[in-house]
């Protein structure tokens, strides 16, 4: 009789722990950020003379890095028709503010000069144009790596800044139309 009570109690404890472990992601998930979708606008070169390969690389690396964060329901590309009319949509606008072309050869020889440097202003806006957050981010490659590595570092820094900032709940922003 005592063995049956112990077995029954052990089964209940195991069952309770299993249910708690299964519901943990639901209990500790960040609800507001998980409800947003983000669409990336094409990179705007502004007044800066930047090579088209760098603009494309910044855009593609932003798509990759924002997807890796898993902070958004979806990461959508510019012109994606599934984004039309979505109230839970943020739009990431990226404007290049500074670009210093570097030299892989000079970096390899001297390790002091030849750095590729990028600075962008990124702005997260609602589909109605309300600015949710704005920040300036740098990306560079100083020692080793190709010049386009600066775009990867830049995108990683943009994603990191977005991730460390708590996004507002989309419901109040949408209802303020």
Has residue 40 been placed in a domain? yes
Has residue 177 been placed in a domain? no
Cβ-contact 117, 138 below 8 angstroms = yes
Has residue 172 been placed in a domain? no
**169 DSSP assignment:** P
Cβ-contact 135, 161 below 8 angstroms = yes
The predicted model scores a pTM of: 0.74
Has residue 9 been placed in a domain? yes
Q: Is the dihedral of CA 63, 64, 65, 71 positive or negative?
A: positive
Q: How far is the C-alpha of 40 from the C-alpha of 125, rounded, in Å?
A: 11
pLDDT per position as a tens digit, 82-126: 888 888 899 999 999 998 887 777 666 666 677 788 999 999 998
Q: How many domains does the chain have?
A: 2
Helices (H), 41-131: 52-69, 104-110
Mean pLDDT to the nearest integer, 117-138: 92
- 22 and 71 belong to one structural domain: no
pLDDT of residue 32: 42
Domain that holds residue 6: 1-30
């Amino acid at each position: 009789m005592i063995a049956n009570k112990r077995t029954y109690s052990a089964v209940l404890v195991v069952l309770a722990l299993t249910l708690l472990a299964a519901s943990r992601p639901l209990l500790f998930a960040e609800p507001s950020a998980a409800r947003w979708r983000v669409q990336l606008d094409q990179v705007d070169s502004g007044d800066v003379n930047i090579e088209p390969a760098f603009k494309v690389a910044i855009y593609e690396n932003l798509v990759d890095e924002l997807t890796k964060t898993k902070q958004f329901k979806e990461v959508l590309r510019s012109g994606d028709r599934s984004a039309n009319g979505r109230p839970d949509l943020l739009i990431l606008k990226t404007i290049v503010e500074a670009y210093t072309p570097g030299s892989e050869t000079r970096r390899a020889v001297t390790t002091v000069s030849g750095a590729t440097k990028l600075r962008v202003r990124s702005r997260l806006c609602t589909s109605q144009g309300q600015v949710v957050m704005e920040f300036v981010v740098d990306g560079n490659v100083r020692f080793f790596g190709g010049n386009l590595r600066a775009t990867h570092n830049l995108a990683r820094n943009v994603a990191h800044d977005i991730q460390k900032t708590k996004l507002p709940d989309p419901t109040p922003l949408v209802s303020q139309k």
